Amino acid sequence: MWKYAWLGVLLLNTCLAHSSFTCEPVQVQWCHNMEYNQTFFPNMLEHYDQDIAASKMKHFMPLVSLRCSPNVHVFLCQAFVPECTEKTQVRGPCREHCVRVLADCSRDMHTFGITWPQELSCDRLKPCDISADESTDLPQTDFTTPKASASRDLGFWCPLQLKTHPGQASSFLGAQDCAPPCANMYFKTHEIQLAKTFIGVCSIVCLCATLFTFFTFLINVKRFRYPERPIVFYAICYSFVSLIYFIGFLLGNEAACNKPSMLGAVSTVVLGSQSKVCTLLFMMLYFFFTAGMVWWVILTITWFLAARPKWSCEAIEKKAVWFHAVAWGLPGSLTVVLLALNKVEGDGISGVCFVGLYDLTALRWFILAPQALGVLTGLSLLLAGIVSLNHVRQVIQHDERNQEKLKKFMIRIGVFSGLYLLPLLTLLACYLYEQALRGRWENTWLNEHCQEYSIPCPYRKVDAARPELALFLIKYLMTLVVGISAVFWVSSKKTWSEWVYFFRRTRKEDPVSESWRVLQESCEFFLKHNSRVQHKKKHCKSSSHKLKVISKSMGTNTSAQTTNTANHDLPLTTSNYLKGTPGSGTEMRDSSKSSVQDPAASEKISRKSSKERKSSKAGSTITRVSGTGEPVQIA
C-alpha cells in the first residue's frame, strides 16, 4: 500500500516539474544541427510533443532544401522546436527574421503550395536583439497570401517523407536517394485489397494445375519423352512462379516495403538489393518466369526437329544437355545482370519483388525484349512444324487410321499453343500499354500530391490519366494462367488410367505416350511410302541396262533367283524412323524370328528344297544367250 502511494507521489512531482519547466532532448532530425540540443513543449504553435511538431514542420522543408533564405532553417527550428536553456528558459523566433524569411521565400512558397500559419504571423513575434537601423531596412509586407507565381518548372523534388538512406542507390522519378510510397500511387486501399485477394486465388489455382502436371510426370517418367518433355520443365517453372506469388500474398507488404527511415517519413517501396527477402523473391520469380518462356521455345524446337527433319526421339534426347544449358543458363545470366545493376523493385500490390515496376528502361530490355523475341521464335518454329505435319497427313491419305490420329495430334498442338500464346500476347500488350502511359500516370500523381508532400507542383498542367484496376488484374492473371496450359496436354484417358494404377499400386505396361506414338507411326509410314517409290524408280531404270548373267546350275535359272531375291529384299531398304538406320538387320532378325515361330512354313521350305535336289540329280542344263537375245537351253 505504501509502495503505491510513494509511486503516485513521484509521478505527481514529475508532472508538476514538467508543467513548470522541463527541457528535453531534441529528437526532430531536421534540427539536430542547430546550436542547441534541448527544447521545450508545448511550443508557440501549441504542439504538445515533438512528433506532432515534426509532422507539421515537414511541409516547410522544401524551403530549407531550396535555401530560399539564409535564416529559413534556423527560423523554422526555433518556431517548431524552440531552444530551451536554464537561464532564459525558452527562446523562440523573432520578428525581423520572420519578415526576412517571408520576403525571400514568398515565390517558392507559392510554387510549393505552402500556406503560412497565423501562429507565425510576424506581428505576434518579439523583436530581435538587433539595432534599430538594421530593423528599419527590413521590408514590412504581408505575405500570408503570396502574389508571386511560379514561372518555371523545378522538376521533381523528393519529399522528405520518401527519402531513403544514402548509399542504397535508390532512385524515383530521377531523384536520387528517393523511393515511391508503399501505399499504391494509383489505387485506393479497398482496390488494393481486392487485387491482393485476386492474385492469391489465381496463384493457388495455377500452383495446383502445375503440380498436377509435375506429379503426373513423376508417376511414369518414361511416358513423357522428347519432343514433349519440355512441357514438364515448363510446368515446373510456373509452379515456382505461382508459389512465389502465393508467398507474396501471405507476407503482405513485409518483403516489398521498407519501414519509415526517419521521424515523419512514410513506408516506401524497396528499391535495390538491401532487403534479403525481397532480393530472394526477385531472383526466384524472374529466373523461373524467364526459364518457363525459354522452355516453351525449346518445346517448339523439339517439335520442329521431329516434324520437319524427322529426327527420332533418341536423336533429340542426345541434345538434352544443350537444351538444359540454354534453358537454365540464359535466365540465370539475366538475373545476375539485374542484381549487378541493382534493379530489384518491390511490388506493393502483389507483395513480391520484380523488375520494371518503376524503371521503364529495365522494363523494355529485361521484360518486353525477351518476351517478344521468345514469341516470334516459338511461333515461327511452331508454324513450320505444323506445315510439315500437314504435308505428312496429305501423303498418307490412304492410311485412314494414322491420318485421323495425326489430324487429332495437330489439333492438340494447336490448342495447346493457343492456350499458351494467347495469355502471353495479352501480357505483352499490357506491358506495352503500361510503358507507354506510365509517364502520364506519374504526372497525374505528382499534381495531386505535390501540396500534400510539400514539393513543387508541375509547371505545365496535363490531362489527368489514371490506370484502370482491371489492367493490373489482367496482367497478374495472364502471368499466372500461362502455366495452366500444361494441364491440357496431360489431360487424357491415359493420364486418368495412370493415376488409377498409381492409387491401386499397379503399373501399366506401355509407357509410350499416345502423342509420340501417333507421330512415330505417321512419319514411319511416310518414310516407307517414299522408300517404295524411290525403289520402283531405281528398279525400272536399271532393268533396261541389266545383262542376264547365265551360269551353270542344278536345273534352275539365275535370273529368276535374282528377281525373287530382289523382291524379298525390298523391305530391308525401307528406312525405319525410330529403330535404326536402313539395313541395320532389324528386319532380318524379325523374319528369322517369324520363321522359327511358324513350324509349318519351315516344313514346306524343307520339302521344296528336297524336291529341287532330286530334280537336279536327273540332269543339268546350260542356258546361253543367242544372238537375238533369247535364252537357249543346251542339255
Shared-domain flag, residues 341 and 480: yes
Whether 65 is in a domain gets the answer yes
Q: Is residue 304 part of a domain?
A: yes
CA 264 to chain CA mean position, Å: 36
60, 76, 318, 496, 518 from 109: Cα distances, Å:
8, 14, 72, 73, 77
What sign does the dihedral 610-615-621-624 (CA atoms) show? negative
Q: What is the arithmetic mean of pLDDT over 183-202?
A: 94
* Whether residues 316 and 241 fall in one domain: yes
- Residues 483, 339 share a domain: yes
Residues 375 and 499 in one domain: yes
Number of CB atoms found within 10 A of residue 247's CB:
18
Region 163-172: what's the mean pLDDT? 82
Q: Decide: 502 and 289 in contact? Cβ < 8 Å.
A: no
224: in domain: yes
Q: Are residues 276 and 407 in the same domain?
A: yes
pLDDT at 516: 52
Phi, psi of 556 (to 5 degrees): -125, 160
Number of Cβ within a 10 Å radius of residue 327: 23
pLDDT of residue 328: 97
Confidence band of 21 (pLDDT split at 50, 70, 90): low
Same domain for 253 and 108: no
The domain in which residue 106 lies consists of 22-136
For 224-235, give the DSSP string: S-TTSTHHHHHH
224 with 117, same domain: the answer is: no
Mean pLDDT of 266-273: 90
Q: Which helix (H) or strand (E) segment is 624 a member of? A: strand 622-625
20 pLDDT higher than 60: no
Specify if 549 maps to a domain: no
Which of residues 503, 527, 555 is at a domain's end?
A: 503
* Nearest to 235, CA basis, from 420, 395, 492: 420
The top-scoring range by mean pLDDT among 29-38, 388-397, 512-521 is 29-38
Final residue in a domain of this structure, among 101, 120, 136: 136
The CB-side HSE value for 324 (13 A sphere, CA atoms) comes to 9
| Local confidence band at 500 (pLDDT 50, 70, 90 cut-offs) | confident
At residue 47 the predicted structure's pLDDT band, cuts being 50, 70 and 90, is confident
- Classify residue 327: in a domain, yes or no: yes
Number of other CB atoms surrounding residue 263 within 10 Å: 15
Q: Tell me: the pLDDT tens digits for 582-607?
A: 333 333 334 333 433 444 444 544 55
Domain count, the chain: 2
Q: Which residue has the higher pLDDT, 79 or 157?
A: 79
- Do 197 and 129 share a structural domain? no
Last residue of a domain, one of 503, 531, 549: 503
CATH number of the domain to which 97 belongs: 1.10.2000.10
One domain for residues 229 and 118: no
Domain of residue 435, CATH code? 1.20.1070.10
Q: What's the CA gap between 464 and 328, in Å, rounded?
A: 43
Nine-digit cell string for 73 = 532553417
Return d(Cα 519, Cα 413) in angstroms, integer. 12
In this structure, are 123 and 248 located in the same domain? no
Q: Kindly tell me the burial class for residue 611, based on how many C-beta atoms sit within 10 Å of its own C-beta (0-12, 13-18, 19 or more).
A: exposed
* 349 found inside a domain: yes
First-to-last alpha carbon distance for the chain, in angstroms, is 148
Bridge-partner residues for 634, per DSSP? 622
Instruction: Identify the residue with better confidence: 526 or 89.
Output: 89
CB crowding 543-569: b at 16 or more within 10 Å, else e: eeeeeeeeeeeeeebebeeeeeeeeee
- Is residue 400 a part of any domain in this protein? yes
Alpha helices by DSSP H, listed for 21-82, are: 50-57, 61-66, 72-80
Identify whether residues 122 and 201 lie together within a single domain: no
pLDDT at 149: 35
Query: 268 and 184 in contact (C-beta within 8 Å)?
Result: no
Query: Do residue 239 and residue 327 come from a single domain?
Result: yes
pLDDT bracket for residue 409 (50, 70, 90)? confident
Q: What is the pLDDT of residue 610?
A: 52
CA distances from 247 to 169, 425, 456 (A): 27, 26, 39
The 10s digit of each residue's pLDDT in 352-375 is 999 999 999 999 999 999 999 999
Q: Are 273 and 167 in contact (CB under 8 A)?
A: no
Residue 527 to residue 624: CA distance in whole angstroms: 41
Which single residue is written with the C-alpha cell 510456373?
A: 238
Contact 302, 374 (CB under 8 A): no
- Evaluate whether residue 161 is within a structural domain: no
Q: Is residue 29's pLDDT more than 60?
A: yes
